[in-house]
């Protein structure tokens, strides 16, 4: 049954892979600097690695926003996020999976009457606002550095082309890892509290936690999305950003990848806190926001005349609309699942107490039966 309920999360993972892989490899594949096959392979492998190795940080933040405590609820929340992503994509509105899942969780909180931690919500919303700004600043710095290197290095046009290809592949691979690490919480985060998986130890050496097993499934679904549907989106993105030179496109992808890394690296967080520095919150951010921020950064560096501010306002409206729409869909879908399909979408305080009581009774029963078996064995041995 858990496998069926997980399908909505996998669908969300698939749509994330189909859409967000274009942020990482879109320019490279669209401009035909890297083959789709190579890009998809790198992206698929490194998204899975990022999700399994470094996906825990952002999941904890998302868990603090609202703990979806029933499997049908988790199913509906993920489905609502996936549906809002799908509908907004159909309406040609820019959409972020991170915003959709946060909206859907808030919808669940409202439906179940659970309180929303406003402090965590505020932290997440502030991060969304800061993410494109940081991305833009990083893009400006990287762009200046690249321009200086090319000017003083006197790189031949064709050698620069080869270096840009390697750079795009490297940035795409790093970006895929960071995408997996940062965005896996969107896909599988809601299933963590209801996951039936247990920790596995292989040869007492490698520990594979329950969360990592869940992230592996999510990572694979993202990778499937990359392989099956991202090519069309990549071509569209690549053709859409042709006004950027390949070096500028490389800078944009690097800035995006670094931003995703900053908001998902637990190692960086512990490094900063150990040195008494302010830490960066581990929050799932939108890779599309990071890309748009970087592109605007480069546009501003060129004087800002080429930026279509009306489009930027349209994109920003989409960012505000995404969580609201997801929350609305989530609320309606939860109502539907609860009342039409008679599925428990949340465990109330009373049912939680009952569950606790039942689990205590089961434990006691187990203890008694093991004591009985133990006594029986002793009698058998003595006989």
Distances (CA, A) of 300 to 103, 143, 308: 31, 12, 11
Do 184 and 219 meet the contact criterion of CB atoms below 8 Å apart? yes
Do 107 and 328 meet the contact criterion of CB atoms below 8 Å apart? yes
Of 91, 129, 149, 156, the residue at the interface with other proteins (CB under 8 A) is 156
3-state SS assignment for residue 207: strand
* Residue 41 CB partners (closer than 8 Å, separation 6+): none
* Residue 32 lies near other proteins (rule: CB under 8 A): yes
- Beta carbon of residue 307, minimum distance to other proteins (angstroms, whole number): 16
Q: Which is nearer to other proteins, 84 or 164 (CB)?
A: 164
By CB under 8 A, how many residues form the interface with other proteins? 22
Site pattern 215..244 for other proteins (x: CB under 8 A): ---------------------------x--
* Residue 361 lies near other proteins (rule: CB under 8 A): no
Among 190, 263, 254, 196, smallest CA distance to 13 is for: 190
* Residue 143 lies near other proteins (rule: CB under 8 A): yes
- Beta carbon of residue 130, minimum distance to other proteins (angstroms, whole number): 27
Do 219 and 48 meet the contact criterion of CB atoms below 8 Å apart? yes
Of 129, 149, 161, 199, the residue at the interface with other proteins (CB under 8 A) is 161
Q: Which is nearer to other proteins, 139 or 220 (CB)?
A: 139
* Residue 166 lies near other proteins (rule: CB under 8 A): yes
Stretches 6-14, 57-65, 147-155, 349-357: which one binds other proteins (CB under 8 A)? Answer: 147-155
- Beta carbon of residue 302, minimum distance to other proteins (angstroms, whole number): 9
- Beta carbon of residue 154, minimum distance to other proteins (angstroms, whole number): 5
Stretches 56-64, 117-125, 140-148, 325-333: which one binds other proteins (CB under 8 A)? Answer: 140-148
* Residue 150 lies near other proteins (rule: CB under 8 A): yes
Do 50 and 181 meet the contact criterion of CB atoms below 8 Å apart? yes
Number of helices followed by number of strands (H, E) in the chain: 13, 2
* Residue 162 lies near other proteins (rule: CB under 8 A): yes
52-76 residues labelled b (16+ CB within 10 A) or e (exposed): bebbbbbbebbbebbbbbbbbbbbb
Residues 276-305 that bind other proteins (CB under 8 A): none
DSSP 57-120: HHHHHHHHH----SHHHHHHHHHHHHHHHHHHHHTT----HHHHHHHHHHHHHHHHTPPP-HHH
Q: Residues in the site for other proteins, rule: CB under 8 A?
A: 31-33, 143, 146-147, 150-151, 154, 156-159, 161-162, 165-166, 242, 245-248
């Amino acid at each position: 049954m858990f496998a069926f309920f997980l399908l909505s999360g996998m669908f969300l993972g698939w749509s994330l892979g189909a859409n967000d892989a274009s942020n990482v490899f879109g320019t490279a594949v669209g401009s035909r600097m890297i083959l789709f096959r190579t890009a998809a392979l790198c992206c698929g492998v490194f998204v899975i690695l990022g999700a399994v190795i470094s996906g825990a940080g952002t999941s904890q933040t998302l868990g603090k926003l609202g703990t979806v405590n029933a499997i049908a609820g988790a199913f509906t929340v993920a489905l609502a996020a996936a549906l809002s992503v799908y509908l907004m994509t159909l309406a040609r509105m820019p959409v972020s999976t991170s915003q959709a899942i946060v909206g859907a969780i808030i919808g669940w909180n409202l439906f179940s009457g659970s309180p929303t931690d406003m402090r965590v919500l505020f932290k997440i919303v502030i991060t969304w606002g800061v993410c494109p700004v940081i991305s833009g600043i990083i893009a400006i710095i990287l762009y200046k550095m690249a321009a200086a290197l090319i000017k003083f290095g006197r790189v031949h046009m064709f050698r620069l082309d080869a270096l840009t290809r390697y750079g795009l592949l490297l940035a795409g691979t790093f970006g895929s890892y960071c995408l997996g690490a940062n965005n896996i919480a969107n896909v599988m985060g809601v299933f963590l509290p209801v996951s039936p998986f247990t920790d596995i130890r292989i040869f007492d050496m490698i520990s594979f936690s329950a969360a990592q097993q869940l992230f592996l499934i999510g990572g694979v679904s993202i990778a499937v999305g990359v392989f099956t549907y991202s090519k069309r989106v990549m071509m569209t993105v690549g053709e859409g950003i042709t006004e950027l030179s390949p070096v500028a496109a490389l800078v944009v992808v690097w800035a995006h990848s670094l931003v995703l890394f900053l908001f998902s690296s637990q190692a960086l967080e512990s490094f900063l806190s150990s040195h008494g520095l302010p830490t960066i919150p581990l929050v799932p951010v939108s890779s599309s926001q990071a890309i748009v921020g970087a592109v605007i950064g480069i546009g501003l560096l060129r004087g800002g005349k080429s930026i279509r501010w009306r489009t930027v306002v349209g994109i920003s409206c989409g960012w505000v609309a995404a969580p609201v729409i997801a929350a609305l869909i989530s609320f309606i879908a939860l109502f539907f699942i609860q009342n039409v399909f008679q599925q428990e979408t949340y465990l109330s305080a009373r049912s939680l107490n009952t569950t606790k009581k039942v689990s205590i009774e089961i434990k006691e029963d187990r203890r008694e039966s093991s004591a009985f078996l133990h006594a029986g064995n002793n009698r058998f041995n003595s006989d």
